Amino acid sequence: MSKYSHAAILSIFASIVTEHIAALRDALAKLAAPGPSDEDLHQFRVTLRRLRSAWVTFAPVLPTRFVAEWKPRLRALAASTGPVREWDVLLSDWLPAARQSLPDHDVVGRVWLDKAVAKSKEARNRAWEELRAELASPDVQEALLQLEQVVAVFHIEGEPKRHSRFAHARAGALRKKLIHRGRHPRRSSALRLHRARIVAKQWRYLYEAFYPALGARAAKRYRGHLRKLQDALGEVHDVSVSLDRVTGLLDALPPPSIVSVFHKRARAARKRAVQGLRWIRSHKAP
């Protein structure tokens, strides 16, 4: 990579960061207003995830000190939204799905689910209030301003818009990383598959958010396969997290029928992950 290409790609990174900071500020304003919606929080989380993924895509051109400072700061901000997301997944997906799967005569399971839903709603409300207070802190806006000022020095005028070789190289690197982390999906730990899911998400964001800025294109079909794989790997992770969270709220452990429903769904997700990873291995990254 030439010195000028390095600077031009870094400038593209700066433009992407600036754009995402503006979107984050807009989302924060909606979250601070009366009656923010779940969709407002979702948009904030998605924008923040894409912003963090830029550090992965553009890693070869980013200054070491810049990465060392800002990756952990953005990771901490993203981590603050995690509990609300986990309660939302539990309440909107896993507990309702478990209820539908239980036979009518499983009174013990249904009573446990009623208590789990009530306790989970209370915990979600507490987490939501804590998150709103944290996001309303002046420290968050100050951090965004600091980041905006830092990347401003990366901008150059009139940089070329086609850097497809760099884009394809980054896609190839993420493909290799995903295949490595996604080995043996039928028996790998949920944590390892969660890490594979993170790579799949970063790869998809590369195609959706950063390829156009680099003058490259990726087939919609490929992005669709990545999304399906990401969803399957996510379910494997969510089953363990969801069970741990709700079990910690109640005095009684979940009945075997509930545990069985969760684990059955995780096994199905692992099968889909096997198929998705097989497809990835047999197709080159665009």
- Per the CB < 8 A criterion, the answer to whether 67 and 137 are in contact is no
Task: Tell me the two tokens of residue 111.
Answer: 């009573």
pLDDT at 286: 87
Mean pLDDT along residues 27-40: 88
Each residue's pLDDT tens digit, 172-219: 999 999 999 999 998 899 899 999 999 999 999 999 999 999 999 888
C-alpha angle 252/255/256, rounded to 5°? 145
Using CB atoms within 10 Å of the CB of residue 278, give its burial: 0 to 12 exposed, 13 to 18 middle, 19+ buried: exposed
Residue 26 is part of a domain; what is its CATH number? 1.40.20.10
3-state secondary structure of 92: helix
Structurally, the chain folds into a number of domains equal to 1
Residue whose entry in the numeric block shows the structure tokens 């959706």: 208
pLDDT at 3: 52
d(CA 221, CA 59): 26
pLDDT at 250: 85
Each residue's pLDDT tens digit, 53-65: 999 999 999 999 9
Give the total residue count for the chain: 286
Mean pLDDT along residues 150-155: 94
3-state secondary structure of 8: helix
Determine the structural domain holding residue 145 and report its residue range: 3-282
Residues 6+ apart with CB under 8 A from 78: 45, 48, 49, 52
Specify the amino acid at residue 46: V
pLDDT at 253: 85
Residues 6+ apart with CB under 8 A from 32: 132, 135, 136
Which residue, among 86, 23, 103, has the nearest Cα to 242 in the 3D structure? Answer: 86
Give 1's pLDDT tier (boundaries 50, 70, 90).
Answer: low
pLDDT at 252: 80
pLDDT at 106: 93
Task: Tell me the two tokens of residue 268.
Answer: 């199905």
Mean pLDDT along residues 239-268: 87
| Phi, psi dihedrals of residue 281, rounded to the nearest 5° | -65, -30
pLDDT at 151: 97
What is the H or E stretch that residue 26 is in?
Answer: helix 3-32
Each residue's pLDDT tens digit, 68-119: 999 999 999 999 998 998 899 899 998 999 999 999 899 999 999 999 999 9
Taking 70 as the threshold, does the pLDDT of residue 2 lie above it? no
What is the H or E stretch that residue 144 is in?
Answer: helix 138-152
Taking 90 as the threshold, does the pLDDT of residue 35 lie above it? no
pLDDT at 160: 63
| Phi, psi dihedrals of residue 2, rounded to the nearest 5° | -70, 165
Which residue, among 149, 209, 147, has the nearest Cα to 16 in the 3D structure? Answer: 209
The proportion of the chain whose per-residue pLDDT surpasses 90, expressed as a percent, equals: 67
pLDDT at 195: 94
Task: Tell me the two tokens of residue 206.
Answer: 């590369």
Taking 90 as the threshold, does the pLDDT of residue 20 lie above it? yes
**CB atoms inside a 10 Å sphere around CB 155:** 15
